[in-house]
Structure 1
Amino acid sequence: MATPKTRRRGTELEEAILRAAADELAEAGYPGLTMERVAQRAGTNKNAIYRRWPNRAALGVAAYRHLAEETLKPPGTGDLREDALTLLRAINCGQTSPAARILRSLLTGVGEEPELREQLHEQASEGGTGTWLAVVGQAVARGQARPAALHPRVATVALVLLRNEYLTRGLTTVDDAVLVEIVDEVFLPLVRPAAQAG
């Protein structure tokens, strides 16, 4: 259903377009995603969308990323271990969330669209990095992590290990004990200052 057209610009218009694209993906999947339907739902025109995203692959991935970022914020518990576990648990439980369903829909279109494959590859390498860097950055400020841990490959190691569980074992969720093991046996020893690592 189309939203009444109003004069929106910048971030407000972009948010409306991304919400509309996410809604379209949730309802029709990637095969049913069209710039025209998104424009109609967002109450704008196709040109406004094409000025921001060159094709539906870029728009679909941007909509997924926007939705995922909205639902995955740094927990801010005041403790690095709790923050890491809270994040991993949210991701693990989120495999049935709208964002996860949209991602699966995007993944089904990869075989037929090289542009989509490229966009998803870029997203996979960036996805979640900002949140994990924020968590580690807060921990560095509290003295719970080494400043050198503020590197994307280090900060996201727990996320990468969780994704590996999904990929190599074909799982959609893992036991909580696995999350605890990832945090306690790999993540914390890697990021904590040497005095706390033991």
Structure 2
Amino acid sequence: MNLEDGSARRRRGAVLEAALLEAAWQELCDVGYGALTIDAVAQRAQTSRPVIYRRWATKAELVRAAVEHALRREEAEVPDTGSLRGDLVATMRLANGRTVTSAAMLTYYLGSYFQETGTSPTVLRTVILGDGPTAIDVILDRAVERGEIPRGRLTPRLRSLAFDLYRHEALMTLAPVPDAVIEEILDEVFLPLVTTGGEA
């Protein structure tokens, strides 16, 4: 059976490309980068190797495109609950419910990809999403405008601290981060450091 003449021919353009990228992402999540093969992706997508190779010349190119597809699919509006703590809790809960929960999970799936390409999760994220404001930047800047965080208190390290701790927990457990742990990260570490009651 020539799959290229069947289902692949009926799917064209953006529809076909999305199906290929989704198949590559699902294969990556199931077996990781090292064990992923173009044949397996083609079988999952019900198409053929040439259909994939016409779009991406190497496995690394396909996987990078699949990660970009997954990350952009999971982009969501930044929660605005009216408080810094509420925004952070809501954002971390949203991350728990997504397929792509954090850069830590990408590290788990893509370990050999980073070795092969000489990149890192930070480099990959910057290449895919750019270096513009992140969700945490939006949340923290709103908190400064509301007066919850003193102007000038936030350093780059403090800006990333809450989600650095969240990603570490996700990597160590490979599971959604429980609400109790989210609250510990915020109430015992992050908020005391950045709000008016803490010491920078």
Q: TM-score, normalised by structure 2?
A: 0.61
Cα deviation for residue 151 of structure 1 reads: 5.1
Match of 2:192 among 184, 189, 193: 189
Contact 1:75/1:86 (CA < 8 Å) preserved in 2? yes
Q: CA RMSD in A?
A: 4.4
Cα deviation for residue 183 of structure 1 reads: 0.9
Cα deviation for residue 166 of structure 1 reads: 4.1
Pick closer, same or farther for the CA change 1:105–1:69 going to 2, 3 Å: closer
Q: Which runs of 4+ in 1 moved over 6 A?
A: 12-17, 124-129
Matched, 1:177 2:180: yes
Once residues 107 and 159 of structure 1 are traced to their aligned partners in structure 2, the CA distance between those partners, rounded to angstroms, is 17
- Residues 91-112 of structure 1: per-residue CA shift (max 9 Å, x gap): 3x34xx5336xx8687356348
From the CA coordinates, give the structure whose radius of gyration is larger: 2
Letter in 2 for 1:77: T
Alignment coverage as a number of residue pairs = 182
Once residues 86 and 115 of structure 2 are traced to their aligned partners in structure 1, the CA distance between those partners, rounded to angstroms, is 39
- Residues 61-113 of structure 1: per-residue CA shift (max 9 Å, x gap): 4533542454353212222110111122233x34xx5336xx86873563487
Cα deviation for residue 126 of structure 1 reads: 8.9
In structure 2, runs of 5+ residues without a counterpart are: 1-6
Once residues 145 and 17 of structure 2 are traced to their aligned partners in structure 1, the CA distance between those partners, rounded to angstroms, is 33
Once residues 180 and 113 of structure 1 are traced to their aligned partners in structure 2, the CA distance between those partners, rounded to angstroms, is 32
Q: What are the within-5 Å matches in structure 2 for residues 29-108 of structure 1?
A: 30=33, 31-34=35-38, 37=42, 46-50=53-57, 55-71=58-74, 73=76, 74-91=78-95, 93-94=96-97, 97-99=98-100, 107=108
Pick closer, same or farther for the CA change 1:153–1:119 going to 2, 3 Å: same
* 2:164 aligned partner: 160
Q: TM-score, normalised by structure 1?
A: 0.61
